[in-house]
């Protein structure tokens, strides 16, 4: 992607879950705005820019996330932006959610955000970098959805993780914020959006009357990553077409 501005010039960013969807759109936009970007995912992809690097990372492993931060600093010399975006969507009610689904969902979504926040914050604090940490939550962390017990729990946990970490890290000049996407057209939501009934329900439930696209989230992430949000921390930015305003 061609450079469009220098809003992140001189910055180094990590984006997890960057092989597709929200993560790839955000990583591409960070790159286009002057940052050096590490695309991190469990799925291997090729990056074409000299200012970009792919690192395989399983965010449910603290060792893997620690290695991700260390490898980024070794390659690019610093870390300014940590976007903990990787996540999975799972179903299950209060009765039929299995131990396996519960544990996997919380390990990837919530523990992954925690491991990324901790690893980035340790580095930023030590090096006195006024960094930005961004976590992908969801409107499912703000309102309940049926048959999504573990997913809603993990995303609600991310919101509280974000708020608590923001208070812990404010004195070091490190900002921590979350984005709560609504229904976005990605591979994760494709099984629902290809169903006409589900697609109509989502559109009718969204006051702006459309399904979101990955760039909607990437633009929010760019704002939170940049100096323009320098007085913003502990916030949850809903990008949902008005869903939770109802």
Q: Is the pLDDT of residue 2 over 60?
A: no
- 194 lies in a domain? no
pLDDT digits 0-9 by tens, 122-157: 999 999 999 999 999 999 999 999 999 999 999 999
- 6 lies in a domain? no
Task: State the pTM of this model.
Answer: 0.96
Residue 4 pLDDT grade (very low, low, confident, very high; cuts 50, 70, 90): low
Mean pLDDT of 103-120: 98
Angle, alpha carbons 80-81-85 (nearest 5°): 160
Backbone phi, psi, residue 31, to 5°: -60, -45
Segment holding 144, helix H or strand E: none
- The CA-atom distances, in angstroms, between 89 and each of 101, 152, 187 are 10, 9, 11
Cα separation, 158 vs 11, in Å, equals 25
Q: What is residue 34's predicted lDDT score, i.e. its pLDDT?
A: 97
How many domains, the chain? 1
- 52 lies in a domain? yes
- 73 lies in a domain? yes
- 225 lies in a domain? yes
Domain that includes residue 130, residue range = 12-184+213-245
CATH number at residue 48: 3.40.50.720
pLDDT digits 0-9 by tens, 6-34: 999 999 999 999 999 999 999 999 999 99
Q: Is the pLDDT of residue 1 over 50?
A: no
Q: What is residue 8's predicted lDDT score, i.e. its pLDDT?
A: 98
Measure CA 233 to chain center. 15
pLDDT digits 0-9 by tens, 37-76: 999 999 999 999 999 999 999 999 999 999 999 999 999 9
- 203 lies in a domain? no
Q: What is residue 226's predicted lDDT score, i.e. its pLDDT?
A: 98
Backbone phi, psi, residue 138, to 5°: -175, 160
Q: Crossing angle, helix 214-225 and helix 21-32, to 10 degrees? A: 50
Instruction: Indicate if the alpha-carbon torsion angle 214, 217, 222, 225 is positive or negative.
Output: negative
Mean pLDDT of 89-115: 98
Mean pLDDT of 202-229: 96
- 104 lies in a domain? yes
Among 42, 60, 136, smallest CA distance to 100 is for 60
Backbone phi, psi, residue 165, to 5°: -65, -35
Which residues participate in catalysis according to the annotation? Answer: 151
Measured in residues, the chain has a length of 246
- 190 lies in a domain? no
Q: Crossing angle, helix 112-127 and helix 149-169, to 10 degrees? A: 10
Segment holding 175, helix H or strand E: strand 175-181
pLDDT digits 0-9 by tens, 183-209: 999 988 888 888 888 889 899 999 999
- The CA-atom distances, in angstroms, between 85 and each of 55, 59, 78, 176 are 15, 10, 20, 13
**Selected residue with higher pLDDT from 217 and 191:** 217
Q: How many other C-beta atoms lie within 10 A of the C-beta of residue 6? A: 11
Cα separation, 137 vs 10, in Å, equals 27
């Amino acid at each position: 992607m061609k450079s469009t501005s220098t809003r992140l010039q001189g910055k180094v960013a990590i984006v997890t879950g960057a092989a597709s969807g929200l993560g790839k759109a955000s990583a591409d936009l960070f790159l286009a705005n002057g940052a050096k970007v590490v695309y991190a995912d469990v799925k291997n992809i090729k990056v074409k820019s000299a200012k970009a690097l792919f690192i395989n990372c399983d965010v449910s492993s603290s060792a893997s996330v620690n290695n991700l931060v260390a490898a980024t600093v070794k390659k690019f010399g610093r870390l300014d932006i940590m976007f903990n975006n990787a996540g999975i969507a799972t179903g299950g009610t209060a009765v039929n959610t299995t131990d396996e689904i519960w544990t996997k969902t919380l390990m990837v979504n919530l523990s992954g955000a925690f491991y990324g926040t901790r690893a980035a914050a340790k580095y930023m604090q030590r090096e006195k970098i006024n960094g930005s940490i961004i976590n992908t939550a969801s409107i499912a962390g703000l309102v309940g959805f049926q048959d999504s017990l573990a997913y809603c729990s993990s995303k609600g946990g991310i919101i509280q993780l974000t708020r608590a970490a923001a208070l812990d890290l404010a004195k070091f000049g490190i900002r921590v914020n979350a984005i709560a996407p609504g229904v976005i057209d990605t591979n994760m939501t494709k099984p629902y959006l290809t169903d006409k009934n589900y697609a109509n329900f989502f559109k009718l439930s969204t006051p702006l009357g459309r399904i979101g696209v990955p760039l909607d989230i990437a633009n929010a992430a760019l704002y939170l990553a940049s100096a323009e949000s320098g007085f913003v921390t502990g916030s949850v930015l809903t990008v949902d077409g008005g869903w939770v305003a109802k």
